[in-house]
Amino acid sequence: MEAAFPEPLRRAIRALSLLPGLGEKSATRLALYLVSRPEKAKELSAALAELPRVKLCRECGNFTEDELCGFCRHPERDPSVICVVEDPAALSVIESAGIFRGRYHVLHGLLSPRDGLGPEELRLPELLERIRRNGVREVLLGLSPTAAGEATAAYILELLRDYPVRVTRLACGLALGMEVRYADPLTLKRALLSREILK
Ligand SMILES: [Zn+2]
Protein backbone atom coordinates (compact mmCIF):
# COMPACT_ATOMS: atom_id res chain seq x y z
CA MET A 1 0.00 0.00 0.00
CA GLU A 2 1.24 3.47 -0.88
CA ALA A 3 1.80 5.78 2.11
CA ALA A 4 -0.67 8.65 2.14
CA PHE A 5 1.90 11.18 3.36
CA PRO A 6 5.49 11.86 2.31
CA GLU A 7 8.26 10.86 4.73
CA PRO A 8 8.86 14.32 6.36
CA LEU A 9 5.19 14.56 7.22
CA ARG A 10 5.07 11.01 8.57
CA ARG A 11 8.14 11.75 10.64
CA ALA A 12 6.55 14.86 12.11
CA ILE A 13 3.40 12.91 12.96
CA ARG A 14 5.45 10.19 14.64
CA ALA A 15 7.40 12.75 16.70
CA LEU A 16 4.30 14.70 17.71
CA SER A 17 2.35 11.59 18.67
CA LEU A 18 5.04 10.78 21.24
CA LEU A 19 4.22 13.95 23.18
CA PRO A 20 2.04 13.61 26.30
CA GLY A 21 -1.62 14.15 25.61
CA LEU A 22 -1.27 13.85 21.85
CA GLY A 23 -2.56 10.70 20.20
CA GLU A 24 -1.97 9.91 16.56
CA LYS A 25 -5.12 11.77 15.54
CA SER A 26 -4.17 15.08 17.14
CA ALA A 27 -0.57 14.61 15.99
CA THR A 28 -1.77 14.23 12.42
CA ARG A 29 -4.00 17.29 12.77
CA LEU A 30 -1.09 19.39 14.07
CA ALA A 31 1.34 18.13 11.45
CA LEU A 32 -1.14 18.88 8.66
CA TYR A 33 -1.66 22.36 10.11
CA LEU A 34 2.09 23.00 10.21
CA VAL A 35 2.83 21.59 6.76
CA SER A 36 0.50 24.13 5.23
CA ARG A 37 2.14 26.98 7.21
CA PRO A 38 5.88 26.65 6.61
CA GLU A 39 6.69 29.89 8.43
CA LYS A 40 5.00 28.67 11.60
CA ALA A 41 6.73 25.30 11.29
CA LYS A 42 10.13 27.03 11.03
CA GLU A 43 9.38 29.26 14.00
CA LEU A 44 8.31 26.28 16.10
CA SER A 45 11.33 24.20 15.16
CA ALA A 46 13.67 27.12 15.93
CA ALA A 47 12.05 27.56 19.37
CA LEU A 48 12.28 23.82 20.11
CA ALA A 49 15.91 23.70 19.00
CA GLU A 50 16.76 26.22 21.74
CA LEU A 51 15.15 24.14 24.53
CA PRO A 52 18.16 21.92 25.25
CA ARG A 53 19.97 25.07 26.40
CA VAL A 54 17.60 25.32 29.35
CA LYS A 55 18.93 23.51 32.42
CA LEU A 56 18.27 23.37 36.15
CA CYS A 57 19.73 26.06 38.39
CA ARG A 58 22.40 24.33 40.47
CA GLU A 59 21.18 26.08 43.60
CA CYS A 60 17.37 25.96 43.50
CA GLY A 61 16.46 23.66 40.60
CA ASN A 62 14.50 26.31 38.69
CA PHE A 63 14.87 26.42 34.91
CA THR A 64 17.66 28.67 33.72
CA GLU A 65 20.04 29.22 30.83
CA ASP A 66 22.95 29.84 33.19
CA GLU A 67 24.47 28.04 36.16
CA LEU A 68 22.30 30.08 38.52
CA CYS A 69 18.78 31.33 37.88
CA GLY A 70 17.77 34.99 38.16
CA PHE A 71 16.36 34.53 41.69
CA CYS A 72 19.53 32.93 43.02
CA ARG A 73 21.69 35.64 41.42
CA HIS A 74 19.49 38.52 42.58
CA PRO A 75 21.33 40.54 45.24
CA GLU A 76 18.11 41.73 46.85
CA ARG A 77 16.39 38.37 47.27
CA ASP A 78 16.72 37.25 50.88
CA PRO A 79 18.73 33.99 50.93
CA SER A 80 17.61 33.22 54.50
CA VAL A 81 13.99 32.52 53.46
CA ILE A 82 13.39 29.64 51.07
CA CYS A 83 10.03 28.90 49.52
CA VAL A 84 9.72 25.22 48.56
CA VAL A 85 7.59 24.60 45.47
CA GLU A 86 6.53 21.57 43.53
CA ASP A 87 7.62 22.73 40.08
CA PRO A 88 8.62 25.81 38.06
CA ALA A 89 4.94 26.43 37.19
CA ALA A 90 4.09 26.83 40.89
CA LEU A 91 7.13 29.06 41.35
CA SER A 92 6.02 31.31 38.55
CA VAL A 93 2.52 31.68 40.02
CA ILE A 94 3.82 32.44 43.53
CA GLU A 95 6.25 34.95 42.08
CA SER A 96 3.46 36.65 40.15
CA ALA A 97 1.74 37.47 43.44
CA GLY A 98 4.62 39.94 43.88
CA ILE A 99 4.96 39.47 47.66
CA PHE A 100 7.69 36.94 48.20
CA ARG A 101 11.22 38.37 48.30
CA GLY A 102 13.18 35.29 49.36
CA ARG A 103 14.63 32.47 47.28
CA TYR A 104 12.96 29.34 45.94
CA HIS A 105 13.63 25.64 45.99
CA VAL A 106 12.03 23.51 43.27
CA LEU A 107 11.36 19.87 44.16
CA HIS A 108 10.31 18.77 40.66
CA GLY A 109 7.53 16.60 42.02
CA LEU A 110 5.66 15.66 45.17
CA LEU A 111 5.79 12.47 47.19
CA SER A 112 3.58 10.01 45.40
CA PRO A 113 4.31 6.35 46.13
CA ARG A 114 1.71 5.36 43.55
CA ASP A 115 3.73 7.05 40.79
CA GLY A 116 6.98 5.75 42.22
CA LEU A 117 8.02 9.20 43.47
CA GLY A 118 9.78 8.77 46.79
CA PRO A 119 11.89 11.26 48.77
CA GLU A 120 15.01 10.32 46.81
CA GLU A 121 13.37 11.50 43.58
CA LEU A 122 12.73 15.00 44.98
CA ARG A 123 15.49 17.57 45.44
CA LEU A 124 15.48 17.25 49.23
CA PRO A 125 19.19 16.58 49.89
CA GLU A 126 19.89 19.81 47.98
CA LEU A 127 17.43 21.64 50.24
CA LEU A 128 19.11 20.39 53.40
CA GLU A 129 22.49 21.32 51.98
CA ARG A 130 21.27 24.88 51.29
CA ILE A 131 19.85 25.19 54.80
CA ARG A 132 23.15 24.09 56.32
CA ARG A 133 25.24 26.31 54.09
CA ASN A 134 23.26 29.54 53.90
CA GLY A 135 22.04 30.28 57.41
CA VAL A 136 18.41 29.80 56.39
CA ARG A 137 15.91 31.16 58.94
CA GLU A 138 12.63 30.16 57.38
CA VAL A 139 11.44 27.43 55.04
CA LEU A 140 8.08 28.35 53.55
CA LEU A 141 6.24 25.34 52.16
CA GLY A 142 4.53 26.67 49.03
CA LEU A 143 2.98 23.30 48.27
CA SER A 144 -0.52 22.58 47.07
CA PRO A 145 -3.08 21.52 49.71
CA THR A 146 -3.63 18.26 47.83
CA ALA A 147 -3.00 14.77 49.26
CA ALA A 148 0.46 14.60 47.66
CA GLY A 149 1.25 18.20 48.68
CA GLU A 150 0.24 17.54 52.30
CA ALA A 151 2.23 14.29 52.42
CA THR A 152 5.29 16.10 51.07
CA ALA A 153 4.86 18.98 53.53
CA ALA A 154 4.60 16.53 56.46
CA TYR A 155 7.70 14.71 55.24
CA ILE A 156 9.73 17.92 54.95
CA LEU A 157 8.54 19.10 58.37
CA GLU A 158 9.80 15.86 59.88
CA LEU A 159 13.05 16.12 57.93
CA LEU A 160 13.66 19.61 59.34
CA ARG A 161 12.74 18.71 62.92
CA ASP A 162 16.26 19.11 64.25
CA TYR A 163 17.23 22.03 62.06
CA PRO A 164 17.15 25.49 63.64
CA VAL A 165 14.71 26.85 61.04
CA ARG A 166 11.18 28.08 61.20
CA VAL A 167 8.85 26.15 58.91
CA THR A 168 5.75 27.89 57.59
CA ARG A 169 3.24 27.22 54.88
CA LEU A 170 0.82 29.11 52.68
CA ALA A 171 -2.21 29.67 54.83
CA CYS A 172 -5.83 30.58 54.29
CA GLY A 173 -7.06 31.44 50.85
CA LEU A 174 -5.96 28.27 49.14
CA ALA A 175 -8.88 25.90 48.85
CA LEU A 176 -8.23 22.34 49.94
CA GLY A 177 -7.23 20.24 46.96
CA MET A 178 -6.27 23.24 44.84
CA GLU A 179 -2.93 23.14 43.03
CA VAL A 180 -0.69 26.15 43.55
CA ARG A 181 -0.01 26.46 39.83
CA TYR A 182 -3.73 27.09 39.21
CA ALA A 183 -4.22 29.60 42.01
CA ASP A 184 -4.78 33.23 41.08
CA PRO A 185 -2.25 35.87 42.20
CA LEU A 186 -4.68 37.55 44.61
CA THR A 187 -5.39 34.30 46.47
CA LEU A 188 -1.70 33.58 46.64
CA LYS A 189 -0.99 37.06 47.87
CA ARG A 190 -3.34 36.42 50.81
CA ALA A 191 -1.87 32.96 51.40
CA LEU A 192 1.66 34.41 51.43
CA LEU A 193 0.79 37.26 53.74
CA SER A 194 -0.87 35.05 56.33
CA ARG A 195 1.42 32.06 56.35
CA GLU A 196 0.91 29.52 59.05
CA ILE A 197 3.79 28.62 61.38
CA LEU A 198 4.30 24.85 61.55
CA LYS A 199 7.48 24.82 63.59
ZN1 LIG B 1 18.06 29.29 41.32
Residue 81 pLDDT > 90: yes
Alpha carbons 110 and 143: distance in angstroms, whole number: 9
Give the Å distance between the CA of 74 and the centre of ligand 1.
9
Q: Give the pLDDT score at 186.
A: 73
Residue 125 pLDDT? 92
CB-count burial class (<10 Å; 0-12, 13-18, 19+) for 108: middle
Residue 21 region by backbone torsions, left for phi larger than 0, else alpha for psi between -120 and 50, else beta: left
Spell out the CATH class of 7-53: mainly alpha
C-alpha torsion 172→175→177→183, nearest 10: -100
Q: What does the pLDDT read at residue 147?
A: 85
**CA of residue 155 to ligand 1 center, whole Å:** 23
Q: Is the pLDDT of residue 87 over 80?
A: yes
- How high is the mean pLDDT of the chain? 90
Q: List beta partners, residue 166.
A: 138
**Cα 194 to ligand 1 centre (Å):** 25
* 104 CA → ligand 1 middle, Å: 7
pLDDT in tens, 129-157: 999 998 899 999 999 888 889 899 999 99
pLDDT single digits (tens) 27-62: 999 999 999 999 999 999 999 999 999 999 999 999
| Domain 55-197 is found in CATH 3.40.50.1370 | no
Q: Is the pTM of this model over 0.85?
A: no
- Between 94 and 171, name the one with better pLDDT: 94
Q: Give start-end residues of each CATH 3.40.1360.10 domain in the chain.
A: 55-197
Q: Check residue 174 and give its pLDDT.
A: 66
Query: Residues with beta carbon < 5 A to ion ligand 1?
Result: 57, 59-60, 62, 69, 72
> What 8-state DSSP symbol labels residue 168?
E
Q: How far is the CA of 64 from the centre of ligand 1 (A)?
A: 8
Taking residues 163-168, what's their average pLDDT?
Answer: 94
pLDDT of residue 1: 63
Question: Residue 24 C-alpha to ligand 1 middle, in angstroms?
Answer: 37
Residue 137 CA to ligand 1 centre (angstroms): 18
Helices and strands of the chain, counted as H and E runs: 8, 7
Tell me which residue of 104, 181, 103, 169 sits closest to 140, measured CA to CA.
169
Among 23-27, 117-121, 131-135, the least confident range: 117-121
Residues of the chain with CATH 1.10.8.420: 7-53
- Output the pLDDT for position 160: 95
Q: Could you tell me which residue, 196 or 129, shows the higher pLDDT?
A: 129
